[in-house]
Amino acid sequence: MSGFTCATCAEKVSVAAFAPWRCPNENGDRHHVLLIDESDQHIVESHPNPFIAFRRNMLWWQFAMANGMTDEQTITLVQRIDDAITKVGGVGFVTTPLTYQSAFSDELSFESPGGIWVKDETHNVGGSQKARHLMSILLHLFVAEELGIAPWAHPSSRPSLAISSCGNAAIAASTLAAAAKWPIDVFIPEWAGGVVVETLTALGARIHRCARQSQDPPGDPTVLRFREAVNNGSIPFSVQGPENALCLDGGRTIGWEMGQQLAHENISELDAIFVQVGGGAFAASLSRGLSESGIAAPLVAVQTEGCAPLSRAWNTAQADAKSAQHWTQHMWPWESEPVSLADGILDDETYDWVADLAQIQRTNGQVVVARESEVIHASQLAPRTTSISASPTGTAGVAGLLALRSQLANTARVAVVLSGIRR
């Protein structure tokens, strides 16, 4: 069984521990991150629900086993939550499609056996990949509650969940919270509005608009208010690894699925997987899942010129063997106002930069900063040629492909993830 090890101070946290959200030595700055220990076992069972098919590789499941739950009970738990998700969100967790896209490949002049494979996350729970990160946290909470390990005695005294987000993560979190009948506080920017807020309201989330306050330190005010809630006892239902390490657990399901789907096509390596990076958890865990499936695929982490803190970190941290210990030398809030059509990846810090760089180094990948014109081009090209209705945030990985296209052979095999359904 694996557990977690802090990338910053090397502290170990057992897989059997309740609430392994943050490193015990973290002192409020979130400059520690618990990374999942490597394991050479990768066990896959045949099941449409990834949280059942891949459960044995996940830390929420290993937590259940370590504390005396049976495997059958874990399966029943996943199915029970999934049924409830279907009632509030329309769909439960299923394997999302990975398809070779010929019109898209032709448009970018790729030739057989090369081309573009697209993983479509737009029909995932909540319309994006975000629910994958959150489900592993929710399962951990339910396991703890059912085994009587959680500090609350009864579901009626559950602490609230909390998340900071302006879009897809908030919708995913509120969908899961509604299914679980668990109260949730969502911290959103002052300017958020429209369909997202309507959806959150319909899901019963408690919405808090966060204006910057004069005494606030630098950084996103929604993150500051979220951390205050967590300090006051809320559960960090977060898609950022330094806030809750378990989000990096479930995020791997996308990579494991891709690994399985590529293996069915007898593909064991890609020339690149392009992933749009905001907070960074998605790229890190997707790529980690691919590596664990035995697929060699350089991770190309894509940011936009309007907000590219990971690119700065990549430039400086490569030469620093102990980069996580020198956190603020490599990662600090983007100074100017972040701006892009891909507004869901404008996180002013790449919170999961340590996990991202680990995967970029492991896979011989890179960070690419796409021009805004490429972000706009990608937002039109990808939906038109694939008929997948992804938002400009969810097509931003394609902007990285456009930026690097001239460096790839026509027969190169590449993959992108389209996510975040257009609302």
Ligand X SMILES: Cc1ncc(COP(=O)(O)O)c(C=O)c1O
Minimum Å gap between C-beta 10 and Zn ion is: 7
Minimum Å gap between C-beta 399 and ligand X is: 12
281 makes contact, choosing from ligand X, Zn ion, none, with CB < 5 to 8 Å by partner type, with ligand X
Residue type, 324: A
Q: Interface with Zn ion by CB under 5 A: which range of 11-19, 88-96, 139-147, 254-262? A: 11-19
Helix or strand holding residue 218 (H, E): none
x/- site string to Zn ion, residues 32 to 51, per CB under 5 A? Answer: x-------------------
Minimum Å gap between C-beta 75 and ligand X is: 28
The nearer residue to ligand X, 13 or 277, going by C-beta atoms, is: 277
Cβ atoms of 293 and 255 within 8 Å: the answer is: yes
Beta strands 366-370 and 299-304 are parallel
Q: Does 11 bind Zn ion (CB under 5 A)?
A: yes
x/- site string to ligand X, residues 219 to 258, per CB under 6 A? Answer: --------------------x-------------------
**Paired tokens of 323:** 């980069």
Q: Interface with Zn ion by CB under 5 A: which range of 30-38, 74-82, 240-248, 329-337? A: 30-38
Q: Interface with ligand X by CB under 6 A: which range of 154-162, 320-328, 329-337, 344-352? A: 344-352
Among 5, 20, 22, 23, binds Zn ion (CB under 5 A): 23
Place of tokens 């990374």: 35
- Eight-state DSSP code of residue 307: B
- Rounded to the nearest 10 degrees, what angle do helices 309-317 and 353-362 cross at? 60
The nearer residue to Zn ion, 8 or 105, going by C-beta atoms, is: 8
CA angle 163, 164, 169 (to 5 degrees): 75
Q: Does 276 bind ligand X (CB under 6 A)?
A: yes
- Rounded to the nearest 10 degrees, what angle do helices 396-404 and 372-386 cross at? 110
Q: Interface with ligand X by CB under 6 A: which range of 8-16, 97-105, 152-160, 163-171? A: 163-171
What single string gives the DSSP state of each residue in 105-158?
Answer: HHHTT--TT-EEEEEE-TTSGGGSTHHHHHHHHHHHHHHHHHHT-SS-SSGGGP
CA distance 32 to 347: 18
Place of tokens 């664990």: 292
Place of tokens 């081309």: 115
Which spans of this chain sit near Zn ion (rule: CB under 5 A)?
Answer: 6, 8-9, 11, 23, 25, 32
The binding site for ligand X (CB under 6 A) comprises 128, 167-169, 239, 276-283, 344-345, 347, 393-394, 419-420
